[in-house]
Amino acid sequence: MFAAAALRRFILINQTGSNMRNSAALFLFLACCASASAEQNIAAPCVPGVSFWSLLGAVDVGYADGHLRADKLYAVCLPAPKAASSSNYAYSPDEGGKLVSVVKGADGQVLDTLVWYAENISGLWDLSEYKVLGGVTKQLTAGKYTLEFQADGTPFYRFSFAVATMPSDDPYQPAGTRYFIDGPWSGYGNIFYQRNDPESSLRFTVWVQDRVTHSQQKNESYAAQLLRLRDGKIIGRDEGELHSDQRWRQLDVLFHAVDGDAASYLKAKELLHEDGAYRVHFERDGKPYGNYDFTVTGGKIQLQGRQLEATEPSTRIVDHLYGGRYRSWWIPRQKPATSN
């Protein structure tokens, strides 16, 4: 059952968009993780939360209508519902407990309430579908919002996002406003290596969007460098072509070794063998997009920011990979002066 849940998680993440090579790499990563034994225990106190990976893949706003929408989400450590259910859904709009996502504006006003169908599958809560109180979500305007998750009336997790608007300039579509969601998609990159095994290839993930008001998919070049900051040495690089449009799309980068076989992928051990400060520098179409700085201490990448356990649990990044056996590292983006 756990393998089935992992496969569903693959499908959800892959829907965020990536080229065929990256999709294949992601599938291999999931297959390996699902069959591997636990080599590193990332146990932590079990507190309710929603997978950050699933939030980035599922939450969006309608490009033409401005209505919030969400696909499948995953949660961990939810409390037992206060009411029993006769179906597989311990939480549901119809019976059992009530698991809701409340959309709040910057002033705290409740705008929408989504009531989820949630099923516990081998300890991982699958939030598959929802009903909206009132039948339909409201049209959002430009501004900041919070998606607050509640279990039987008790808040336990918050996900912040923003909405930007622009007038349409597409001559072949009716005049109107176009809506774009923003938030952690532009604020973070992610580092991961399979099974947290230093012999595995090092992967960097970033999310890309093309904020335009007419329908198109744009092909553009990208370049990524992994640098050791003490001397500026490039220890890994990758370049290629990405596809971007109005939605946030996931791009997975596998670095190539600079020293040695340029055709091979950089193994995590080539990074972890020397403690110090490192940076991923990412460019789109030859223009700097972001720097992602992190530190290696004792042969391990250090957690930072909202991934630290000192972070208040309701806003902490939930990085729950395969029952908590493995983790990835969320790296805040530093924006160059010329980037968006």
Cα 74 from Cα 322, distance rounded (Å): 12
**Where in the chain does DSSP place strands (E)?**
49-50, 59-61, 68-70, 73-76, 99-105, 110-121, 124-132, 143-151, 154-167, 177-182, 188-193, 202-208, 218-228, 233-244, 249-254, 256-257, 276-284, 287-297, 300-301, 329-334
Q: What percent of the chain has pLDDT over 90?
A: 74
The pLDDT of residue 339 is 54
Prediction pTM value? 0.85
The pLDDT of residue 21 is 37
Residue (of 288, 290, 271, 268) closest to 227 by Cα position? 271
Residue (of 148, 144, 163) closest to 114 by Cα position? 148
- As averages over each run of 10 residues, the pLDDT of the chain (340 residues) reads 39 38 38 38 75 97 96 97 97 98 98 98 95 97 98 98 93 87 98 96 97 80 98 96 93 91 90 98 97 98 97 95 88 81
Domain 28-41+187-334: assigned CATH number: 2.60.40.10
Residue (of 249, 57, 252) closest to 159 by Cα position? 57
Give ranges for CATH 2.60.40.10 in the chain.
28-41+187-334
Q: Which CATH number fits domain 45-184: 2.40.128, 1.10.287, 1.10.8, 2.60.40?
A: 2.60.40
Read off the pLDDT of residues 63-106 as tens digits, 9 standing for 90 and up: 999 999 999 999 999 999 999 999 999 999 999 999 999 999 99
The pLDDT of residue 44 is 56
The pLDDT of residue 317 is 98
